[in-house]
A and B are shown apart, each in its own frame.
Chain A
């Protein structure tokens, strides 16, 4: 049997790696890829908890399905924004998007 904690650890690691990608990458698309990793970590967590705590309920799966939908929506909108920004400023380097700088 795979203990639950292994799954959680895996999810935690994936989450941390995704976090590093978000914080440390220059290209905006690379940042988005990090966000996808983090979302995946969350879904792993969700499904693991569903399997180990409430396997007979359906709400875990439904939650996961909703999360998928949200992730898809978020990815599409994010990429559309990146494309729009690229059109404006001809660059997708996140460091250069500092209009809100004081």
Chain B
């Protein structure tokens, strides 16, 4: 057992436990805070995968923007009364079942593919990683690479921005 494997196990456990807390806690704000912990765990997993930039983006974006946004929404949609007595709806048993089944299905895929050779990391790969930020920057703006998806994504963001403002704006 590698040191990295042990670290991975710890981080994975923490992430999963906090994720579980997110979906089961009665207090919504606690849930949001547990979400932040889970997202942090995911960022650490990214680091283990030697994708540093992605990890940072994860922290900045998901935690710094989206989680905060979620907390804001919670605050804005809070009712005068306290929280609901229970937060699960009527179909939770089946949902649990379906979730478990989907987990089994997804992991089963990995077990039932005999012809597929699981790749393993080569040490030499680390040196040729293209985690280089400059390469990423170039890739995003080069017309023969990924400029178009980049532009489309930006349009999407504009649309989302305007849409959110329009939807959530006060009607005069």
Contacts and interface: CB of A to CB of B under 8 A. Distances in A.
A contacts B directly in the complex (CB < 8 Å)?
yes
A2 B106 CA distance: 19
Given A21-B22, A34-B22, A80-B167, A73 B157 contact: yes
Contacts of A28: 77
Nearest to A40: B42
B89 A10 contact: no
Contacts of B163: 77, 80
Contacts of B32: 33
A1 B61 contact: no
Interface string B47-87: 01111011001100110011101101110110100001011
A54 B66 CA distance: 29
A72 B73 contact: no
B120 A1 contact: yes
Interface in A49-64: 50-53, 55-59, 61-62, 64
B168 A84 contact: yes
Chain A to chain B: the 8 pairs with minimum beta-carbon distance, closest first: A21-B23, A23-B95, A73-B160, A80-B164, A16-B103, A80-B168, A24-B92, A20-B99
13 contacts: A8-B110, A20-B96, A24-B91, A24-B95, A33-B23, A33-B70, A40-B62, A43-B58, A58-B136, A74-B160, A93-B84, A94-B89, A95-B89
Interface of A: 1-10, 12-21, 23-30, 32-34, 36-37, 40, 43-44, 47-48, 50-53, 55-59, 61-62, 64-66, 68-77, 79-84, 86-87, 90-95
Given A70-B153, A75-B69, A76-B164, 9 more contacts: A2-B4, A16-B99, A27-B28, A55-B125, A55-B129, A58-B146, A65-B57, A72-B157, A86-B77
Interface of B: 2, 4-5, 8, 12, 15-16, 19-20, 22-23, 28, 31-32, 35, 38-39, 42, 45-46, 48-51, 53-54, 57-58, 61-62, 65-67, 69-70, 72-74, 76-77, 79, 84, 86-92, 94-96, 98-100, 102-103, 106-107, 110, 118-121, 125, 128-131, 135-136, 139-140, 145-146, 149-150, 153-154, 156-157, 159-161, 163-165, 167-168, 170
